[in-house]
Amino acid sequence: MGQTITEKILAKHAGRKSVKPGELVNATLDLVMCHDVTTTPAIDMMKEHGITKVFDPEKIVIMPDHFVPNKDIKSAEMVRKIRLWADEMGIETFYELGNHGVCHALLPEQGHVKPGMTIVGADSHTCTHGALGAFSTGIGSTDLAASLSTGELWFKVPPTILFNVFGSLQEGVYAKDIILEIIRRIGVDGARYKAMEFRGPVIDELSIEARMTITNMAIEAGGKSGIIAADDKTIEYLKTRGIEGEIDLVKSDEDAVYEQVIDIDVSDLEPIIAFPHLPDNGKKISEITEKIKIDQAYIGSCTNGRIEDLRVAAEIMKGKTVPKGTRCIVIPATTEIWKQANKEGLLDIFMEAGATVSSPTCGACLGGHMGIIAAGEKCISTTNRNFVGRMGSPESEVYLASPASVAAAAVSGYICDPRKS
Amino acid sequence: MKAHVYNRDHINTDEIIPARYLNMDKEADLAKHAMEDIDTEFVEKVEAGDVIVAGENFGCGSSREHAVWALRGAGVKAVIAESFARIFYRNCINNGFLAIECQGISGSISNGAKLEIDLISGEIKDLDADKSYKFPPLPEFAQEMLEAGGLMKMISK
């Protein structure tokens, strides 16, 4: 019987020929990712249990990103603690301020992710890295402590839902709209405990960055992981990240068993805006009849803060102005993206339009810092969650959308169709 | 044990412990803000040993284990829900904290009802309404982890 890509990767790392959904396996880990918010408790747990070494310092990367540059004394103390611990453990891959970025944009960009790997990160959006054909999933701090200590972790093999994405994507409609549409259809728990595998001609056509936008939001449907088998585009991307040589191009077998196959025809897909307070509350732009004035437009995050996203936003905002009563924040997701956007003149376009551009950080996406919103305010955002209080006051509202839709709203002050901007 | 009932699906970790408190990681500090964005009075109402009853997909969203610690620190003994989000459920098991999946519980229990949980028979008794609800026993590995006191105790054995 055939196996899915997820089953194959887990079987290989569990020292097995095959695995079945529902089985519990202990799998070895190829990469463990730590950031500033969830790592300090793991350090304490290891110390408390007398564990003085990590399993392999070369398979651990540390990327402080949530509250950087440090927002207050407490967050400064957290990063300092991690920095000292990393030195003590001999972990060299620490992305210090100046080389920093939002972890899920930084990890693949810096060449840490390869197809066929098992990756865990103490952050729910670790599912992003499935875009390169890896099994990658988010964990909590205790799982992180166990992973750092032993280099392996228990997993229940997830059943897989296959999303077959086909049709022709209209101009002005993007990967973000595809994933918002998928979540709208299946709901925020539609893939709970499951692997979401994306395939089909539309996925083939998407850039690696756009694929990351899709896998990034697997968790917003409750998914354990999102995955896209590596192809020639992946190999090309990896080359630009300094990865050459043998690559494990693992794919699902033709006769792999899926729990469900869902066809997604994107030909009629429009820009989707996910209304408060759940990511599955998506509405087609043509069906939004009310005029929604926005106080803030936010372009950034692990979902949509990459260079292609900034290019799309800049094209829409070029020569236009953010109106009085609206604020726009642009946060390139990594230092390299920031520099590239600067070189291409994109940052000038944003600043000329009256937006502000800040240093890479998760920041406002989670109501952390650098763009918190007040009670009664509405923010349209390229991020991934619009839960109650996600970006600030529990009485504020977040609307999720593509970079094009957010840019269009930024310069009009209202939620609008980016294809008409 | 008293039930604090939230008949809602998708109660997420941002509501259980908002990110504005994630610059802290000690249970006692987090406990002061447990459930703050869903019920500002929760920490005043809750007593040691109480349980939370909720709908589907409890604990969805962020991987922050702070959500489990905030609840435990506030005195919550268990969360009983129709279903749990994956990472939150793992975090519960890894901490030796009780997360019970019980179909049909949401909408059936009155807020403040006195409950009794029998883990061995897999039964929740509503002592006020004289009704009981069955739940499937925890998976064996989860039971072992509960007994061991969590994942770190297990791996450092």
Q: How confident is the model at residue A74 (pLDDT cuts 50, 70, 90)?
A: very high
Quick one: closest CA in A to B11, which residue? A387
Q: Tens of pLDDT along A172-209? A: 999 999 999 999 999 999 999 999 999 999 999 999 99
Q: How confident is the model at residue A283 (pLDDT cuts 50, 70, 90)?
A: very high
Chain A residues with CB under 8 Å of B155 CB are 49, 146, 149-150
Chain A residues with CB under 8 Å of B58 CB are none
pLDDT the model gives residue B71: 98
Residue A244 has pLDDT above 90, yes or no: no
Strand partners, A378: A397
Scanning A5-64 for CB atoms below 8 A from B yields 24, 37-38, 40-41, 44-46, 48-51
Strand order in the sheet with B98-101: B3-6, B51-54, B78-81, B98-101
Per-residue tokens: A153: 């972790």
Quick one: closest CA in A to B155, which residue? A146
Tell me if A149 and B155 make a contact (CB, 8 A cut-off): yes
Tell me whether residue B152 is exposed, middle or buried, using C-beta atoms within 10 angstroms of its C-beta: 0 to 12, 13 to 18, 19 or more.
buried
Q: Which of A44, A78, A140 sits opposite B63 (nearest CB)?
A: A140
Per-residue tokens: A420: 């008409």
Chain A residues with CB under 8 Å of B24 CB are 74
Q: How many helices (H) and strands (E) does chain B have?
A: 7, 7
A70 at the B interface (CB within 8 A)? no
Tell me if B152 and A50 make a contact (CB, 8 A cut-off): no
Provide the b/e sequence for B37-68 (b: ≥16 CB within 10 Å).
bbeeebbeebeeebbbbbbbbbbbbbbbbbbb
Choose, out of B29, B30, B87, B154, the residue to mutate when testing the contact with A (most A CBs < 10 Å): B87
Q: How confident is the model at residue A17 (pLDDT cuts 50, 70, 90)?
A: very high
Quick one: closest CA in B to A50, which residue? B156
pLDDT the model gives residue A261: 98
Tell me if A366 and B19 make a contact (CB, 8 A cut-off): yes
Chain B residues with CB under 8 Å of A149 CB are 155-156
CA distance A386 to chain B (A): 10
Q: What is the mean pLDDT of residues A46-68?
A: 97
Q: How confident is the model at residue B31 (pLDDT cuts 50, 70, 90)?
A: very high
Scanning A106-145 for CB atoms below 8 A from B yields 122-124, 126, 138-143, 145
pLDDT the model gives residue B52: 98
A321 at the B interface (CB within 8 A)? no
In A334-384, where do the E strands start and end?
356-357, 378-381
pLDDT the model gives residue A421: 78
Instruction: Give the whole-number percent of chain B exceeding pLDDT 90.
Output: 85
Average of per-residue pLDDT values in chain B: 95
The pTM of the full predicted model, rounded to 2 decimals, is: 0.97
Scanning A382-401 for CB atoms below 8 A from B yields 385, 387-390, 394
B131 at the A interface (CB within 8 A)? no
CA neighbours within 13 Å on the CB side: how many for B12?
Answer: 26
Q: Tens of pLDDT along B68-95? A: 999 999 999 999 999 999 999 999 999 9
pLDDT the model gives residue A106: 98
Per-residue tokens: A89: 């453990």
Q: Which of A24, A41, A72 sits opposite B141 (nearest CB)?
A: A24
pLDDT the model gives residue B98: 93
More confident residue, A307 or B154: A307
d(CA A398, CA B55) in angstroms, rounded, equals 23
Quick one: closest CA in B to A36, which residue? B23
Contact A222, A252 (CB under 8 A): no
B85 at the A interface (CB within 8 A)? yes
A190 at the B interface (CB within 8 A)? no
Tell me whether residue A374 is exposed, middle or buried, using C-beta atoms within 10 angstroms of its C-beta: 0 to 12, 13 to 18, 19 or more.
exposed
Q: Which of A391-395, B21-25, B65-69, B140-144 has the lowest mean pLDDT?
A: B140-144
Residue B37 has pLDDT above 90, yes or no: yes
Q: How confident is the model at residue B147 (pLDDT cuts 50, 70, 90)?
A: confident
Tell me if B37 and A124 make a contact (CB, 8 A cut-off): no
Q: Tens of pLDDT along A93-140? A: 999 999 999 999 999 999 999 999 999 999 999 999 999 999 999 999
Q: How confident is the model at residue B120 (pLDDT cuts 50, 70, 90)?
A: confident
Quick one: closest CA in B to A49, which residue? B156
Tell me if B14 and A390 make a contact (CB, 8 A cut-off): yes
Q: Which of A45, A189, A367 sits opposite B18 (nearest CB)?
A: A367
Residue B154 has pLDDT above 90, yes or no: no
Residue A345 has pLDDT above 90, yes or no: yes
Chain A residues with CB under 8 Å of B150 CB are 142
Q: What is the mean pLDDT of residues A217-242?
A: 97
Q: What is the mean pLDDT of residues B105-130?
A: 94
Chain B residues with CB under 8 Å of A50 CB are 156
